[in-house]
Amino acid sequence: MTMPGLRAALFDLDGTLADTAPDLAYALNCVIEEQGKDPLPYATIRPHVSHGASALIRLGFPELLASSGEFDQCRQRLLAVYRDNIALHTRLFAGMDLLLDWLDGQGLKWGVVTNKPAWLTQPLMEQLGLATRAACIVSGDTTALRKPDPQPMFHACQLMGLAAADCLFIGDAERDIEAGRRAGMKTLVALFGYLGNNDHPEQWQADDMVEQPQQIIDWIVGYNQQRRRS
């Protein structure tokens, strides 16, 4: 008989599992400078990283219409530069390696559910040495719908052979928490991620918020102990 409690942790990629902002900021500023404009400060770019390439181009080129060909050209150029420099400065967040080791040691599965397309997700996970360790990797184009829709979450569960109620999802964006909640998972906000001044995670209805990866261990232990007592 399986003991009650969480059996897997799923992570958003950018801003939760890995600190990808330095390489994405580099790619954006390369495009900006190619267009003859001054680069943006890293602190200005960082809060926008979790929202994808289009959000970064809107930040760097507010004068461009999202439907324009020039916007799409800049976006494609950003993605190309990023792909060529995908793990130049990207690292796991401090303490995340210890968290993954702990999950492995406890026999708990872990995986990634990201809106990043597979042609970027897979090489990044390989560069980080995590591609073969993860129980599942669900990218933004793995399923027909992306977060905040719960479809990618259900697909991750299917790959792991678990129910959504067995899983915890950790993310740094409102769409992460919405997707996890709609799937029926427990959810945590990663406050160490790419939250901006306009984000209000206390309103996202997550089960809790954590300021560092170590707290995720404490949260899982506490939750599982409570479940087993009830």
Cβ within 8 Å of residue 87, ≥6 positions away? 23, 123, 124, 127, 128
φ, ψ for residue 116 (rounded to 5)? -65, 135
DSSP 8-state symbol, 12:
-
The CA distances from residue 101 to 68, 134, 153, in Å, are: 46, 11, 23
For residue 170, the one-letter residue type is I
> Do the beta carbons of residue 177 and residue 171 sit within 8 Å?
yes
Of 180, 179, 176, give the one whose Cα is nearest residue 190.
176
Number of residues assigned to the chain:
230
Q: Which two tokens stand for residue 56?
A: 């970064």
Pick the catalytic residue: 12, 14, 19, 166? 12
Q: Which two tokens stand for residue 183?
A: 């799937």
65 half-sphere exposure, CB direction, 13 A CA radius:
3
Is 12 among the catalytic positions? yes
Catalytic residues: 12
